[in-house]
């Protein structure tokens, strides 16, 4: 009887063997994997611990309790990262993450909208180095997304805003002050004559007085119309010749290609009518997209920039020249060149600069030729 085990110490499935394991989900006692599988099937148990389950303070302040909280937080973070990667993969965009703490990583506010679309943080740059960060939905066309035109219109509206003492009176003030304006006698006679021509001949001696009253009532209205036209001519940019704007400037849009081996910025031309999602599909961005906006009908890129087609052509020529040089180099020289790269550069994962390798090969082959 001493060797007999209590029923509470036996496996809850087979009731013949002492239990060895407890289910994390429901704390059921099992002795082996087959019994645990049978328990999951019978009780429809997932076998996962419920993170919302109440835990006593004495059990929480233990290594096991700390491990449970750490695993729960790590699982939440891993789930968010997985959902983010899945979203970017569905959009066809490869996102290179900047190290945490850098300004670019802090500025990234890219998120997923309630409709399931990506709202990108886009860096807009002009040729004068002006920079604006704006949140842009992926379905918005590029021509309607760039914020420089809106900022320009805001600046013009502020520029056109006049001080209080220079602003023309409002329509309400004009109506109130119009009857007190001094009326020119010649203008009054002209208005009376026009009113007399429009009306039928007088039927009695009392009619002229009514015409005079009608003419006097027309005068304030005439003056109000002139005042309103004058106010419209001052406020409308099309009527005011000094403030009128010509055809809006033509903009050219380019997506920055990050992490290239060239010393110049590599730009990818994008269409103004295309959406942001269409422009980013199949592309790589550093945290968030960077789009350059250049104005003018005849575009000439500055010296610090180059097109992607030119960059790919240059890369192909350098790779071809490199392959031709490698054919005439012995393996020992290649081994020496490979050892020149430090372990820090390899750990950093920086792209191989083919032009630098070409320079090293040319110097090495030139030195061997002089020997």
Measured over the CA atoms of residue 16, residue 17, residue 18 and residue 24, the dihedral's sign is negative
Alpha-carbon distance of 23 to 40, in angstroms, equals 9
- State pLDDT tens for residues 246-272: 444 578 999 999 999 899 999 999 999
Between the CA atoms of 142, 144, 149 and 153, what dihedral angle is there, to the nearest 10 degrees?
Answer: -170
DSSP state letter for 6: P
Q: What's the token pair of residue 242? A: 């000094």
What pLDDT is attached to residue 195?
Answer: 62
Alpha-carbon distance of 16 to 7, in angstroms, equals 9
What pLDDT is attached to residue 106?
Answer: 94
- Contact partners, residue 277, CB within 8 Å, separation at least 6: 91, 118, 138, 139
Percentage of the chain beyond pLDDT 70 is 62
Alpha-carbon distance of 134 to 122, in angstroms, equals 5
First to last CA, the chain: 96
**DSSP-based three-state secondary structure for 196:** helix
Quick count: other Cβ atoms within 10 Å of Cβ 43? 15
Which range scores top for mean pLDDT: 141-155, 178-192, 252-266?
252-266
At 192, give phi and psi (nearest 5°).
-60, -40
What pLDDT is attached to residue 125?
Answer: 93
Element spanning 178, H or E: none
Crossing angle of helices 331-340 and 354-370, rounded to 10°:
130
What pLDDT is attached to residue 311?
Answer: 93
Q: What is the mean pLDDT of residues 326-349?
A: 66
Contacts 24+ apart (CB under 8 A), 230-239: 230/168, 231/168, 231/171, 234/168, 237/160
What pLDDT is attached to residue 151?
Answer: 54
Which of 236, 278, 289, 274 has its CA nearest to residue 104?
Answer: 289
What pLDDT is attached to residue 369?
Answer: 47
Angle at 208 between CA 203 and CA 210, to 5 degrees: 100
Least reliable range by pLDDT among 54-58, 110-114, 332-336: 332-336
- Contact partners, residue 137, CB within 8 Å, separation at least 6: 113, 117, 118, 119, 120, 276
């Amino acid at each position: 009887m001493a060797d007999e085990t209590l029923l509470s110490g036996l496996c809850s499935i087979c009731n013949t063997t002492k239990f060895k394991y407890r289910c994390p989900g429901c704390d059921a006692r099992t002795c082996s994997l087959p019994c645990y599988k049978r328990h999951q099937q019978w009780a429809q148990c997932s076998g996962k611990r419920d993170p919302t389950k109440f835990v006593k303070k004495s059990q929480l302040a233990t290594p096991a309790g700390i491990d449970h909280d750490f695993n729960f937080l790590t699982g939440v973070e891993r789930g968010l990262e997985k959902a983010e990667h899945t979203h970017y993969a569905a959009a066809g965009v490869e996102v290179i993450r900047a190290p945490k703490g850098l300004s670019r990583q802090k500025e990234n506010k890219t998120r997923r909208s309630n409709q399931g679309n990506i709202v990108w943080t886009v860096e807009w740059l002009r040729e004068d180095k002006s920079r604006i960060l704006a949140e842009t939905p992926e379905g918005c066309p590029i021509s309607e997304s760039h914020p420089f035109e809106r900022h320009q219109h805001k600046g013009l509206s502020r520029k056109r805003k006049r001080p209080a003492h220079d602003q023309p009176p409002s329509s309400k003030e004009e109506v109130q002050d119009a009857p007190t304006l001094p009326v020119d006698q010649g203008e009054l006679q002209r208005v009376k004559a026009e009113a007399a021509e429009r009306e039928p001949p007088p039927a009695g001696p009392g009619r002229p007085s009514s015409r005079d009253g009608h003419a006097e009532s027309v005068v304030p209205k005439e003056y109000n119309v002139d005042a309103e036209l004058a106010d419209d001519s001052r406020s409308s940019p099309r009527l005011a010749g000094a403030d009128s704007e010509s055809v809006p400037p033509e903009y050219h849009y380019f997506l920055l290609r990050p992490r290239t081996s060239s010393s110049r910025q590599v730009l990818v031309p994008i269409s103004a009518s295309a959406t942001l999602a269409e422009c980013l599909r199949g592309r790589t961005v550093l945290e968030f997209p960077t789009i350059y906006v250049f104005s003018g009908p005849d575009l000439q890129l500055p010296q610090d920039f180059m097109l992607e087609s030119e960059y790919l052509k240059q890369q192909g020529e350098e790779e071809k020249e490199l392959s031709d040089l490698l054919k005439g180099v012995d393996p020992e020289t290649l081994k020496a060149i490979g050892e020149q790269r430090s372990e820090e550069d390899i750990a950093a994962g920086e792209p191989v600069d083919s032009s630098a390798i070409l320079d090293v090969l040319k110097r090495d082959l030139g030195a061997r030729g002089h020997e």
